[in-house]
Amino acid sequence: MNEIYYVDGTPYEVSPSMLAEFLRKFPNATKSQGAKPIINKSRYNEGEEDLSGWDNFKNVLSNTFEEAGDIFEFWGLAQDEETVQAAAEAGSLGANSNIQIASTAIWERVFGRETMKRWKKTSPGFFKTYIPSDSATFKRVLENFEKEEAQKKKTLTFGEADSLGDYLSVGLGAVVNVGGSVVKNFGTAFTGYFFEFAAQNYVTANEVKAKSMGLTLNELVASGNADVDAAVKIAGFQAGLEYFGVSKILKPFKVGKAMNKKVGEYLSRNYSKSSGKKIRIGLDLGIVGSLEGSTEMGQTALEMYNEQLATAKATGEDINDAWQLTQNFFSAEAFEAEVLVTLLKL
């Protein structure tokens, strides 16, 4: 039987015969703890061939239409059920599962789960959509979330492209993605990305923590020990990067001298080395490139940081935020995101 594994929030359906190869390539992959959704096949399925440029573009279009449909799911307009609870049980929450996960996590973090349960009883009208994290319904919400995530089809990156047709496909796909993002921003009143990032970070971070404790994700969440703060804070920055760009986000903040010093030391030490080629090119592109390119680099760095922070907490290790974020910002993944957007501006 095939199993679902997540790598940086991306779901993969892995067949038993391909599991060893998959784990060698992605040693930090986490096994899904919820229901096994129907997922687009990955190349870690038996008999699955690599995507062609045309297949990639079709998947991009499919993902874009899916994202546009998320607007109706986000507002609960795509469900036949009368309540969120009924939709969760029916498996039809779709993108609304992002709101349910994030809002429950935030409500309970601020006021406490027992307080929220009491308020729901005394004010059922106001808190009618609140779902306690230790309830069977919330477990179903997590399964709805995984089902929604699994509907995103695999697409190529520049790193995976190996022909002119592939490169053109990736570039054209990026143009389509930009249009989809604009539609989603306006359609969700500029809140969709925050809830999506918060839910993704919450699930990713706590799957890592649960694994380190020998628990399932559902068991950890029900115990009341799930991590919330980092997931929400990172989501706030990610959403800000998505909406306003890096410069507009960093402008109101006074970055400490210690952090600036560590960042400067890292860049200076690695800039002239052969291994620092991505740093040099990335800085050049940052100077002559676009705001959107820097935004993509920042988002990618934060997504990587979310999982690294969760892993560090689970293993009891310390993590230097400035150091880790700087390395992530100039990583191969972030660099690729910068190149992609900059090429689109040429």
Q: Identify whether residues 226 and 273 lie together within a single domain.
A: no
Query: Considering 232, 263, 297, which residue would you say is the last residue of a domain?
Result: 232
Give the pLDDT confidence score for residue 262 in this predicted structure: 46
Does residue 127 form part of some domain? yes
Q: What pLDDT, on a 0 to 100 scale, did the predictor assign at position 346?
A: 52
- The pLDDT assigned to 142 comes to 95
Instruction: State pLDDT tens for residues 297-310.
Output: 777 777 788 887 88
Q: How many contiguous H segments (helices) and E segments (strands) does the chain have?
A: 16, 3
- The sheet carrying 10-14 orders its strands as 10-14, 3-7, 30-31
Residue 167 is predicted with a pLDDT of 81
Residue 245 has pLDDT above 50, yes or no: no
Q: Which of 168, 203, 232 is the last residue of a domain?
A: 232
Q: Residue 35: pLDDT above 70?
A: no
What is the mean pLDDT of the segment spanning 114-119? 96
Within this chain, do residues 207 and 69 fall inside the same structural domain, yes or no? Answer: yes
**Residue at 71: amino acid letter:** I
Q: What is the pLDDT of residue 31?
A: 82
DSSP class of 78: S
Sign of CA dihedral 117, 123, 127, 131: positive
Q: What is the pLDDT of the chain when averaged over all its residues?
A: 76
Residues 165, 269 share a domain: no
11: Cα separation from own chain's centroid: 11
| Contact of 86 with 130, CB cutoff 8 Å | no
Instruction: Print burial letters for 35-70: b (CB count within 10 Å at least 16), e (below 16).
Output: eebebbbbebbeeeeebebebbbbbbeebbebbeeb
Q: Is residue 208 part of a domain?
A: yes
Q: What six digits make up the tokens of 296?
A: 């993509």
Tell me how far apart the alpha carbons of residues 42 and 255 are, in angstroms, rounded to a whole number.
42
What tokens does 2 get?
A: 């095939």
Assigned domain for 289 exists: yes
Residue 321 counted as domain residue: yes
Per cent of the chain over pLDDT 70 is 68
Q: Tell whether the model's pLDDT for residue 316 goes beyond 90.
A: no
Same domain, 61 and 105: yes
Domain termination site, one of 176, 202, 232: 232
pLDDT at 252 over 50: no
Q: Which of 99-103, 186-190, 201-205 has the highest mean pLDDT?
A: 99-103
The answer on 226 and 257 residing in a single domain is no
Which amino acid type is present at position 310?
Answer: A
Q: Report how many domains make up the chain.
A: 2
Q: pLDDT tens digit string along 150-171?
A: 888 888 876 567 788 888 888 8
Closest CA to 241 of 183, 160, 297: 297
Which pLDDT tens digit goes with each residue over 69-85?
Answer: 999 999 999 989 999 99
Tell whether 238 is covered by a domain. Answer: no
Same domain, 128 and 271: no
Give me the domain span that covers residue 318: 253-345
Categorize the per-residue pLDDT at 342 as very low, low, confident or very high, splitting at 50, 70 and 90.
Answer: low
CA neighbor of 67 nearest in space, from 224, 59, 291, 171: 59
Q: How confident is the model at residue 119 (pLDDT cuts 50, 70, 90)?
A: very high
**Pair (265, 318) in one structural domain:** yes
Q: Kindly report the pTM of this predicted structure.
A: 0.66
How far the first Cα of the chain sits from its last, in Å, is 47
In this structure, is residue 20 part of a structural domain?
A: no
In a domain, 97, yes or no: yes
Are 214 and 141 members of one domain? Answer: yes
155 and 280 co-located in one domain: no
Rounded Cα distance between 205 and 213, Å, is 13
Residues 214 and 258 reside in one and the same domain: no
Q: Does the pLDDT value for residue 116 go beyond 70? A: yes
Residues 205 and 130 in one domain: yes
Pairwise CA distance, residues 146 & 10, whole Å: 10
* Domain annotation covers residue 3: no
Judge if 210 and 301 occupy the same domain: no
At residue 201's C-alpha, the angle toward residues 204 and 148, to 5°, is 80
